[in-house]
Amino acid sequence: MYSVEKTALIRKSEKEILKIEACGRDAFRIRAIRGGDFPKKPSAIENTSNPEIRVELGEETTVVYNGKIKAVIEGKHARLSFYNGDKLILEERLQAHPLKLFAREFVELPNGKYKITARFEAKADEKIFGMGQYQQPQLNLKGSTLELAHRNSQASVPFMISNKGYGFLWNMPSIGEVSFAENLTKWTAQMSDVIDYVVIAGDTPAEILEKYMLLTGKPPMMPEYALGFWQSKLRYRSREELMSVAREYHKRGIPLSVIVCDFFHWPHQGDFKFDEDYFPNPAGMVKELNDMGTELMVSVWPTIENDSENYEEMKSRGFLIEDHKDNGPHHDCYFDAVFYDATNPEARKFVWDKCKKNYYEKGIKIFWLDEAEPEYIKYDFDNHKYHIGECLEVGNYYPVTYAQNFYEGMQHEGQENIINLIRCAWAGSQKYGALVWSGDIMPTFESLRCQVSAGLNMAMAGIPWWTTDIGGFDGGNQESNEYRELMVRWFEYATFCPVLRMHGFREPAVDGIGETGGGICFSGGDNEIWSYGDEAYEIMKEHIFLRERLRPYIREIMKEAHERGTPPMRPLFYMYPEDKRAWEADDEYMLGGDLLIAPIMELGQRERSVYLPQGVWIDAYTKKKYNGEATINTDAPLERIPVFIREDASVNAETFN
């Protein structure tokens, strides 16, 4: 029944083969199949240097040890419980008789695969964080039901950290669902042939997350140019429009790190090149920007129009995502298009070769990888098939391979410190230089509130680089005083995010400037920092200069992310796990170890309460000192949000003046 290997224990029964394998330090990878060999599947696990396990075999109970974690296997159904030393941290839910609800359940599908369910006991006082990006204000996910699928503004990154002292990775890119209910924790996958998850034991959230990042990969070092201010709008319609904005920033003496050439700068989707009727001499454009200290980021979509010069070849070579029900378009933006299959290595090579020739060799060193979920016209997951399998079984892996496509291409050219903006992620995306942004969100204070939780849960899910469209994406009138206030408050918050980036589809829209190619596409209204009136301009300008003064500090926390996987944005409990009130604080956070940030997320709000954890804290603007482990009320005039500096921090309070 049992066989013991150096790093794993295998239990075979009539209905199941169960493998409990050491997975890095203080962690187990659990896999279960109905029979045969364990299949090779897309996995977030990168580090396979596993330590030797210790096993105590028994007639009713068997125990497996890996450092401080132990797994206990009990009974004929092999129910699993996990311990950190002698402390129970997680246990499977088994209700075999009379309910016949098993901890690991396989329901056979017509194609020979299975619908998978894994059940665990729930703890009423458990707090759960991570899981990626969902558009909801809750930071603590206990009580939430989450779709395990990607959508525009939703990124399913199925790693969670519990206040009970463990981390859990659902290492299955299948479409599914998880419920963190009061009476049960239940994970489901709509299609698979294996159950695959990882349990990590740790005494603090930081310890757990660092072990997880060792398994799945840490981000590169963020390049110096990315630490500053990024300018973007729905799209600059021509080279002259884009360059006039960059020149204006330069004329005003405002540092501009990155400016963006967004979608429909191409003749057709899938051409992967500039439409030189509107963007002539791209290399010259890049050089002029570089001379002003600015990098040009270019948008790439994975959509391929029928009229693209590459469509027929990509179709004939099997580089496009296949459909079961019909062969209709996957996406509709001006023209019908289908998605290229980024899970196919040959398709990735084809796309990179085009982008290398038409962008990279003209000086483009940073890409905007849009539509990365991918965003189907209808999220009909059972209709699509990828090179690596059915969408239902592997669909959540697509954004990983999309990021991998460009990261490995740039790496092959000798580039270091690679960063690319992308609209989605799954577990492990971070190692491919993925800077995830929160998608086409709404321009409201309610949406801003959701982004604060989304960014922190992305951090706890192992995605350290994250950003939002300042002011929201879809709308926003420049002349509205209420919207101008939202822009200011969002900009202030974004100053203390991993990346400070302006973007959005502002009202009123403007028409295209031509009848062919990229010229037909409309754009939004102006979205530069001087577009919202003098008061907003002065506040945003000052925060750009504040961001510049914070560069040494931000550089150091990016180094921590690269070397240890430590996220730049951290919930209070990450730094103060012994503080029970820190686990309750869901609308403030740490940027690095020294700055406590309290965003303003309501119209007209000019003060707010802030919880300060243990220690002495200095108001960054007034220089007043406060003792920690206390809630205070503090002013929040329009020109600033509350920021507190830990006493003896590396950041000097004079930075803020």
Between strands 17-22 and 27-33, the pairing is: antiparallel
- What is the DSSP secondary-structure string of 195-220? EEEEEEE-SSHHHHHHHHHHHH----
CA distances from 627 to 171, 597, 622, 631 (A): 43, 16, 15, 10
Told to judge if 373 belongs to the known catalytic residues of this protein, a careful annotator would answer yes
As given in the structure block, the two tokens for residue 127 are 């707090």
Query: Distance between CA atoms of 158 and 257, rounded to whole angstroms?
Result: 33
Which of these is catalytic: 262, 295, 373, 485?
373
Told to judge if 639 belongs to the known catalytic residues of this protein, a careful annotator would answer no
Q: How many CB atoms lie within 10 A of CB 534?
A: 8
Sequence-separated (6 or more) residues with CB below 8 Å from residue 384: 321, 322, 323, 324, 330, 376, 390, 391, 395
Query: Distance between CA atoms of 157 and 117, rounded to whole angstroms?
Result: 18
End-to-end CA distance of the chain: 69
Told to judge if 5 belongs to the known catalytic residues of this protein, a careful annotator would answer no
Query: Distance between CA atoms of 158 and 172, rounded to whole angstroms?
Result: 8
Classify residue 345 as exposed, middle or buried by CB count within 10 Å of its CB (0-12, 13-18, 19+). Answer: middle
Query: Distance between CA atoms of 393 and 376, rounded to whole angstroms?
Result: 17
Query: Distance between CA atoms of 29 and 5, rounded to whole angstroms?
Result: 14
Query: Distance between CA atoms of 116 and 113, rounded to whole angstroms?
Result: 9
- Within 13 Å and on the Cβ side, how many CA atoms surround 625? 6
H or E stretch at 314 = helix 311-316
As given in the structure block, the two tokens for residue 410 are 């740039």
Which of these is catalytic: 248, 322, 382, 440?
440
Which of these is catalytic: 207, 370, 390, 393?
370
Cβ atoms 190, 175 nearer than 8 A: yes
Residues with a known catalytic role: 370, 373, 440
